[in-house]
Chain A
Amino acid sequence: RKEVEQDPGPFNVPEGATVAFNCTYSNSASQSFFWYRQDCRKEPKLLMSVYSSGNEDGRFTAQLNRASQYISLLIRDSKLSDSATYLCVVIYNQGGKLIFGQGTELSVKP
């Protein structure tokens, strides 16, 4: 089993749609959680951290369920510019090395 697993993609949605990405992690000692965004042939960029209480940044909402070892990202009112691969990322040791999911590709169409 992979350490971090994400929904298989691609997700193809129309502009304005709401889309949800899910992610599960296998190590219950995981400490920190992030969503990164990666555009084609570009480096990953931090989208948002994920907190146990859930957090929101504009159209983006992230949730963490430690009991189920589950992370989600919700994008409301999707824009063409949201098209990218979304990476679920977990840190579970003191060293801080990121463990990446395989990513879910999102394509927002006009």
Chain B
Amino acid sequence: GAGVSQSPSNKVTEKGKDVELRCDPISGHTALYWYRQRLGQGLEFLIYFQGNSAPDKSGLPSDRFSAERTGESVSTLTIQRTQQEDSAVYLCASSLESGNQPQHFGDGTRLSIL
């Protein structure tokens, strides 16, 4: 498809387990961003990738969170030893380049930690 694709769309897991979330950006988009949105709250920036530059990890809430991106394609966000407060919708966005370009969002992964 032409849009940002995220998988899985829903994930339910037990506290303490690791989870991996996937994002396929729009083809040709060099910048990729991860955000988190807790229920009833605004969006929080987590991390962004631009080409081969070092990622901006300033929004990652703890060292349990990490993300990787291969070139200018797929990205995975990994949460280790999940906690209940990790329950949220995790949104991925991509844009043509970092800076002032508008970002286009995927449908998100709804993560629920039991």
Residues of A at the B interface (CB closer than 8 Å) are 31-32, 34, 42-46, 49, 87, 91, 94-103
Chain B residues within an 8 Å CB radius of A43:
91, 105-108
A43 vs B91: C-alpha distance when bound (angstroms): 7
**Count the B residues whose beta carbon is within 8 Å of the partner chain — how many?**
26
Closest to A6 in B: B42
**By the criterion CB–CB under 8 Å, are B106 and A96 in contact?**
no
**By the criterion CB–CB under 8 Å, are B42 and A102 in contact?**
yes
Residues of B at the A interface (CB closer than 8 Å) are 31, 33, 35, 41-43, 45, 48, 50, 56, 59, 91, 93, 95, 97-108
Closest to B99 in A: A96
Chain A residues within an 8 Å CB radius of B42:
87, 100-103
Which residue from A31, A87, A96, A102 sits with its C-beta under 8 Å from B48?
Answer: A96
B39 to chain A, nearest CB (A): 10
Chain A interface SS verdict (over half): loop
B31 to chain A, nearest CB (A): 6
A34 vs B95: C-alpha distance when bound (angstroms): 14
Sampled A-B contacts (7; CB under 8 Å): A32-B100, A95-B98, A96-B31, A97-B59, A98-B35, A98-B43, A100-B43
Chain B residues within an 8 Å CB radius of A101:
42
**By the criterion CB–CB under 8 Å, are A97 and B105 in contact?**
no
Which residue from B41, B48, B102 sits with its C-beta under 8 Å from A97?
Answer: B48
